[in-house]
């Protein structure tokens, strides 16, 4: 069913984040059934192949994306209205009358979901929980630039995990904008070791921002800083939380 009122036309870039997993109630069957009803046939088929935490994260992320679309574009439109198309190399695409020009991207980690919506150009979002990774040294050696490795080396051990996830999620967010084909080129070809307060942008006018939220890194890549950061669950209004996104320069810096 098409919306009864025109979709909002003002320029906007918004971030949405689900609450910390520890605060979420168990998924009641009636809520689960309602969220499943939002999904396309392809999404339901994929969901049926998931188990445990993967099932919960996938269902929450797709239901939350549709809730965010309704809140952003037209609060009178039910979440079930929105159709999402997925490509193998491209970000998700919103389908339906009046949604041309809107970009969406999502990420989930350890039970938490991040969503970005923008009609100000391509965007990407990534979130990762801060936790020990056995392959961290291997990732740093393979995909971080000399400047990033130097930054990690001079960072106190107590802060090194946070800095690692900041760098990693900034690269992931940039890749998710769909502006380049090669993931390895993004990982090793851009240096995010320098914070900035300037308006300097990388290729295609993209900029990057990062914030730590409850032990998670949250990174965003796009043409404009998100105006809001909203904590949200499906079927809820959402609550704006503190937006402390810090900008970082996207420098070319081939790995050595």
Query: How many Å apart are CA 50 and CA 56, to the nearest integer?
Result: 9
Has residue 2 been placed in a domain?
no
Arithmetic mean of pLDDT over the chain: 83
Query: How many Å apart are CA 15 and CA 226, to the nearest integer?
Result: 6
Backbone angles phi, psi at 54, to 5 degrees: -65, -40
Query: How many Å apart are CA 144 and CA 126, to the nearest integer?
Result: 17
Please give the pLDDT value at position 4: 52
Has residue 5 been placed in a domain?
no
**Sheet containing 13-17: order of strands:** 103-109, 112-118, 13-17, 228-231, 239-240
Q: What percent of the chain has pLDDT over 90?
A: 39
Pairing label, strands 13-17, 228-231: parallel
More confident position, 201 or 79: 79
Has residue 6 been placed in a domain?
no
- The answer to whether the CB of 46 falls within 8 A of the CB of 58 is yes
Tell me: the pLDDT tens digits for 105-119? 999 999 899 999 999
Query: How many Å apart are CA 167 and CA 248, to the nearest integer?
Result: 10
Has residue 1 been placed in a domain?
no
CATH number, domain containing residue 169: 3.90.470.20
Contacts 24+ apart (CB under 8 A), 146-151: 146/253, 146/255, 146/256, 147/191, 147/193, 147/194, 147/251, 147/253, 148/191, 148/192, 148/193, 148/253, 150/193, 151/193
Has residue 7 been placed in a domain?
no
Has residue 3 been placed in a domain?
no
Has residue 39 been placed in a domain?
yes
Domain of residue 162, residue span: 13-252
Please give the pLDDT value at position 7: 54
Has residue 88 been placed in a domain?
yes
- The answer to whether the CB of 242 falls within 8 A of the CB of 138 is no
Tell me: the pLDDT tens digits for 183-231? 666 666 788 887 753 334 455 678 889 999 999 999 999 999 998 899 9
Report the chain's terminal Cα–Cα distance, integer Å. 54
Number of domains in the chain: 1
Regarding pTM above 0.85, the answer is yes
Please give the pLDDT value at position 5: 52
Nearest one of 86, 1, 82, 79 to 43, comparing CA atoms: 86
């Amino acid at each position: 069913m098409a919306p009864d009122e025109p979709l909002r036309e003002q320029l906007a870039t918004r971030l949405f984040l689900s609450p910390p997993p520890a605060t979420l109630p168990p998924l009641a069957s009636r809520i689960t059934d309602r969220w499943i009803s939002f999904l396309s046939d392809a999404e339901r088929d994929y969901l049926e192949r998931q188990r445990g935490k993967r099932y919960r994260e996938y269902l929450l992320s797709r239901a939350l994306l549709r809730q965010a679309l309704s809140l952003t574009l037209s609060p009178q439109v039910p979440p079930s209205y929105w159709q999402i198309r997925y490509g193998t190399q491209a970000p998700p695409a919103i389908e339906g009358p009046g949604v041309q020009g809107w970009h969406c991207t999502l990420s989930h980690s350890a039970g938490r979901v991040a969503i970005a919506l923008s009609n100000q150009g391509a965007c990407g979002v990534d979130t990762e929980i801060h936790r020990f990774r056995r392959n961290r040294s291997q990732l740093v050696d393979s995909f971080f630039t000399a400047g990033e490795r130097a930054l990690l080396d001079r960072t106190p051990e107590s802060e090194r995990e946070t800095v690692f996830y900041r760098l990693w999620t900034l690269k992931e967010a940039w890749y998710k904008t769909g502006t380049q084909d090669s993931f390895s080129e993004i990982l090793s070809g851009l240096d995010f070791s320098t914070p900035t307060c300037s308006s300097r942008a990388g290729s295609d006018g993209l900029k990057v921002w990062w914030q730590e939220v409850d032990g998670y890194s949250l990174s965003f890549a796009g043409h404009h800083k998100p105006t809001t950061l909203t904590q949200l669950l499906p079927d809820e209004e959402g609550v704006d939380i503190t937006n402390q996104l810090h900008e970082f320069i996207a420098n070319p810096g081939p790995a050595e």
